[in-house]
Every structure is written in C-alpha cells, then in structure tokens.
Amino acid sequence: MSPREQDRRPLDADGPTLVVHGAQVMDAAGGFSPATVTVVDGVVASVDRSPQGLVQNLEQGPAPSPSSAASGGQVTSTLDASGLWLVPGVVDCHTHLGWTTFLPVDDDASGSVDPAERARARLEQVAPGLAATLRAGVTSVRDAGGAEAAVREGVASGGLRGPRVQTAVATVTDELARDPEGLRARVRGLVDAGADWIKVVATGGVMAPDGSEDESPFDERDLRAVVDEAAGLGVRVMVHAWGGDALTHAITAGVASVEHGMFLTERQAAAGAEQGVVLVPTLAIYSEVAEMARRGELPERVRGRAERVVEAHPRAVGRALEAGMVLALGSDFGTTEQHGRNLVEVNHLARAGLGGAGALVAATQAGARLLGDGTGVIEPGQRFDAVLLSRDPSDTAVLRDPGTVVQVFLAGSAVV
C-alpha cells in the first residue's frame, strides 16, 4: 500500500530496518532517479539505483500495508513509494518559531506571572508552529531569535512535536553591547542560556527606522570579538546584514553565515566565497511583508522598503552564485499563518537563479552542512530525515502547495 492509499496516516516504521522502493530519489546534485533505499536504525544503509535492484524489488510486488517481516529477530518494514518523489528533509536555516507575530507583544515585563507558568505558556504558544513546520517537510531548523533553549529540549525529549531545533535564543544588538568586551559578555550570556548560535544584528531591518538598514553599529573589531568568543565556547556566528560595511565586516571577521544580504556587492560575494561564508537570503519573506503592509497589517512605511528589497534581492543572489558562494534556505517566517509554508522559499530560490536542482540542494544539503546536521543527502551513513512528495519537486512551484507533502521521516521513523 502506498502512503497516498494510507490517507497520509503515519507509517509504523520504528523497526530496525526500513526499505523504501519505487520512489524517484533525489541525488546530491538535485536530480532524480528510481532507487531502493534501505535504512537501518535510522541511518541510510544503502541506496540501490541499479536496474537489477529495482527489478528485484518490483518482482517482490507491492508491500501489503507497510509490511513488517521478522527474520532472525529483526523486523523489516517495506514501503512501496511508487509514483512518489523522495527528498532529504528540508533544513530551514533562518526561522522564528518562537514568534507568532511581527508586531511587539506584551511579554509580562513586570514579572507578575510565575516564571514556570510563563515557560509552560510559551511552549504551548510555539507548539502549533513547530508541528506545522514539521508537517511541511522541514526536519531541521535554526531559529534566528525567539525560541528559548526549552523549545529545543522539548522537541528532543518528545514533549513537543517538531523538527530538530538549533537556536540563537536571542540576538546581539548595540542596545545591549557596544564594545568588544561588552559583546564578549553578551556572547557568554547567550551560551549560558543555551544558544547553539550567536546572531548579531549588524544593520536595521524591514521594521527598523528609516536609514538604519544601511548603517552598522559594529566594526570589524567588534565582530571579530564575537566570532572569537563564540568559537572558544563551541558555537558559531550568523549575522543579519542587508549590505554596506556590515557585510564586509561580517565576511572579514569569519562568520559562518550572513542573513539576507540583499545589497551584496560583487567584491563582497568574492570575499564571501573565499572565506566559505554561506548566504541565507530569505527571499520570500519580503514579498510577504510587502503584501502584509498593503493589507494594513504592518505600518505603511514598511511597504516601500520591502518592495525595494524584493527588486534588489535576486541581483544579490546572482552575484553570490557567480562568485561561488554557497546558498542555504531560510524562510525568516515568524507568524502563525506563515509557519508551515516554509517550502515556498524553495521556489523563490529557483526563480532567483538557482534553478530547480540548485534550489533543492540549497534547501537540503547546503543547510544541513551549515548546521552540521548529519543529514541533507540520501546516501549511506546519513541519518534518514526525508520527505515523500506526490509531485516532482524539480518544478519547485509545486512546493507552494503543502498538500504535496505525503510523509515525513525523522531518523527512519514516519512522523507525518
């Protein structure tokens, strides 16, 4: 029985071995060919693309439910995925799962609510977004500010249903630290709070006062202090930077990734490629923000800025590609309505110049490598975080429809 015939019910594939056959399986270059994938204890054991292997599995016929056959004390679950496409789980390298709105909210700054009760309320608040993101086929995320370490721990323990979480917890801004020593102290505080990443806000953003998107409060010395302190504590640095000196300083300081980068120059792109800095452009969000402003959901001043970004962004992506920078997917989504629509970013990447295969690699392999996630490709030795799709994602437009996702696997177990 195929997953579609199961009406998308979760597959009981918790046995030590899972065999998926009949699907078109994505390779490391973003192409597809039929293959049989064998997963043992959540890790890909083999990917058989040979005609002999495919014929052998076809001769065995469709699996009767998924089948569970016991042999020598081990259980093998077999899944017939004929007519489906199998891709690695999507890695969203820039999201805000701790948010439900872009507008300021009352977070009980007075402290009148019991901290334990507030923590429970926060987990209840983020749970729907986590679940929706997982259903969308996103199996790992890097939260760029807003998700406490408790969110990561809740998912890891099974108390929350969602993708694997790495989090920056909160951000480094000039409101909290203005010199190298203050920045180092801020880094230490965030790591003490459970941060996996340090996120520096080096320019303004779409909601900031006019002009701040071109100005940076931090110079290269400041950012080097952040990178150095973070490295000593075993974490890496991501920098929000639209353009200008902020991008130059971030790249020279040796950050792992720059976020947004819509005014990236050719010289900065060349330096980024040489330094191995990953660009996470977050294309879709600015179209969404412009539309939200048009509907009156955000201040009108935001609209013009967002529209200017939408026009500039593809050119920056083109410069990055030409220079040889690696690009990874980031949705930057942070509202209740956006969580679970992360894969629209794949289509934006394709249209910005990556093409279908390149966008799929950015959404999977590139992001997994940036996060050191142990996934991103369906190859032997890699953890089997994967997604079955009902339509060919080479046409990335199909990913705008969440219904394209048929089944989601985490470490070999079907969770959607």
Cα 314 to Cα 216: distance, rounded to the nearest angstrom: 23
Half-sphere exposure (Cβ direction) of 321: Cα atoms closer than 13 Å: 16
User: Which residues, in sequence order, are CB contacts of 263 under 8 Å at separation 6+?
Assistant: 242, 243, 244, 247, 312, 316
Cα 56 to Cα 175: distance, rounded to the nearest angstrom: 64
Name the stretches of the chain with pLDDT < 70.
1-15, 52-75, 102-113, 115, 209-213
Which amino acid, residue 384?
A: F
57: helix, coil or strand?
Answer: helix
60-119 residue pLDDT tens: 544 333 444 544 446 689 999 999 999 999 999 999 998 887 665 444 444 455 767 777
pLDDT at 143: 98
Whether 410 contacts 13, CB under 8 Å? no
Question: Domain 90-371 class?
Answer: alpha beta
Whether 206 contacts 306, CB under 8 Å? yes
pLDDT at 52: 61
Tokens representing 89 are 């789980």
pLDDT at 195: 98
The arrangement of secondary structure in 17-88+377-414, i.e. its CATH architecture, is Roll (2.30)
Cα 327 to Cα 318: distance, rounded to the nearest angstrom: 11
| Structural domain spans, the chain | 17-88+377-414, 90-371
Tokens representing 293 are 């402003």
pLDDT at 351: 98
Helices (H) and strands (E) in the chain, counts: 12, 17
**Paired sense of beta strands 257-260 and 278-280, if any:** parallel
Closest CA to 314 of 324, 302, 322, 304: 322
pLDDT at 10: 39
Cα 320 to Cα 297: distance, rounded to the nearest angstrom: 33
Q: DSSP letter at 66?
A: S
Sheet holding 197-201, edge to edge: 171-172, 197-201, 236-241, 257-260, 278-280
Q: How far is CA 364 from the centre of its chain?
A: 8
Read off the pTM: 0.90
